[in-house]
Amino acid sequence: MPFWIDTHCHWDAPEFDADRDALRAAAQAAGVAHCVIPAVERSNWATVRDLAHRWGDSYALGIHPLYTGRAAEGDIEALATMLEDCRDDPRLVAIGEIGLDFFVSGLDAERQTWFYEQQLQLARRFDLPVILHVRRSSDQLLRALRRRPVQGGIAHAFNGSLQQAQQFVERGFALGFGGAVTYDRALHLRRLLQQLPMEALVVETDAPDIPPHWLYTTAEQRAAGQAQGRNQPAEIPRIAQVMVALRAQAPADEALTATDWQRITSANAARVLPRLQPLLSHGKKEPQYG
């Protein structure tokens, strides 16, 4: 039976501390049978690994570009050591979340680039795909991938051009789509969703971030005391309904149901993250919540 895979969920985030197990159970009940949990810095590598084992999910290890300012260069060697220690762990499926962010001000571009390229080298050394953070950085990410090609992976929360998307796909990447596409004003992102082949797409939340429009609160609402909506994997079926409807508007595209999307996007995830395949086919453990 088809099921959803959330290819990007930060289950270790403090926003989930009060009810993490309950929300993972809710996601399971909603048909999200598997989550990929990416790390962001050295301090949470063990946490994401332990959560993946506890729930029968999978994880990635890496240093996020937004955390490079407080990372030490020695963290790269520490990452290599942990990757070696976890080499035979079937639930380690990628190096990530890594990449470049040229949207947030105040970040050291040179330092980000050094950590990104060092982690690409680790991906080559350990023969692992990568989960990329892509924010106003597609060309720079692609330039480094041409110098240090890896086996592919996922370009998370992709919002570049169609040409850039095609270059990632040619290099063995799928593109992650989630709550951002539910906003009526996201015209560029919606066009991408309609133009790209289905084989290029995977579904994600980036929970607790990038909430769909029905969870979003404006700055004025937040100033008045209303909390920002917390994204979670249980939202994927509703997010996917929006994607299915948008895709149905694409010229000459075949009609696809939500079940088709489950089947295709799950197969795409298993293709670009090859270690997922045995977990999904015969290695799924009974989740332990609470």
Q: Which residue, among 162, 170, 241, has the nearest Cα to 203 in the 3D structure?
A: 241
Task: Please report the pLDDT score of residue 169 as a whole number.
Answer: 98
Task: Please report the pLDDT score of residue 171 as a whole number.
Answer: 98
Res. 205: pLDDT tops 60? yes
Domain hosting 211: range is 4-281
Task: Please report the pLDDT score of residue 32 as a whole number.
Answer: 98
- Tell me whether residue 289 is in a domain: no
Question: SS in 3 state form for the chain?
Answer: CCCEEECCECCCCHHHCCCHHHHHHHHHHCCEEEEEEECCCHHHHHHHHHHHHHHCCEEEECCCHHHCCCCCCHHHHHHHHHHHHCCCCCCEEEEEEEEEECCCCCCCHHHHHHHHHHHHHHHHHHCCCEEEEEECCHHHHHHHHHHCCCCCEEEECCCCCHHHHHHHHHCCEEEEECHHHHCCCCHHHHHHHHHCCHHHEEECCCECCCCCHHHCCCHHHHHCCCCCCCCCHHHHHHHHHHHHHHHHCCCCCCCCCHHHHHHHHHHHHHHHCCCHHHHHHCCCCCCCCC
Res. 27: pLDDT tops 50? yes
How much of the chain, in percent, has pLDDT values that exceed 90?
88
Task: Please report the pLDDT score of residue 227 as a whole number.
Answer: 76
Could you report the per-residue pLDDT of 171-188, keeping only the tens digit for each?
A: 999 999 999 999 999 999
Task: Please report the pLDDT score of residue 287 as a whole number.
Answer: 67
Which whole number is the average pLDDT over 90-99? 98
Res. 284: pLDDT tops 60? no
Q: What confidence tier does 283 reach under pLDDT thresholds 50, 70, 90? A: very low
Q: Rounded distance, CA 35 to CA 91, Å? A: 11
Q: Tell me how far the alpha carbon of residue 108 is from its chain's centroid.
A: 23
**How many structural domains compose the chain?**
1
Q: Tell me what the pLDDT averaged over the chain comes to.
A: 94
Q: What confidence tier does 24 reach under pLDDT thresholds 50, 70, 90? A: very high
- Tell me whether residue 85 is in a domain: yes
Res. 48: pLDDT tops 60? yes
Res. 54: pLDDT tops 60? yes
Task: Please report the pLDDT score of residue 219 as a whole number.
Answer: 75
Task: Please report the pLDDT score of residue 166 as a whole number.
Answer: 98
- Tell me whether residue 290 is in a domain: no
Res. 57: pLDDT tops 50? yes
- Tell me whether residue 74 is in a domain: yes
- Tell me whether residue 99 is in a domain: yes
Which whole number is the average pLDDT over 198-217? 96
Q: What confidence tier does 220 reach under pLDDT thresholds 50, 70, 90? A: confident
- Tell me whether residue 195 is in a domain: yes
Task: Please report the pLDDT score of residue 2 as a whole number.
Answer: 85
For residues 225 and 199, is the Cβ–Cβ distance under 8 A? no
Q: Can you name the residues that pair with 60 across neighbouring β-strands?
A: 38, 94
- Tell me whether residue 287 is in a domain: no
Which whole number is the average pLDDT over 137-147? 98
Which whole number is the average pLDDT over 263-288? 86
Cα 112-117-123 angle, rounded to 5 deg = 130
CATH of the domain at 207: 3.20.20.140
- Tell me whether residue 288 is in a domain: no
For residues 276 and 270, is the Cβ–Cβ distance under 8 A? yes
Which whole number is the average pLDDT over 240-251? 91
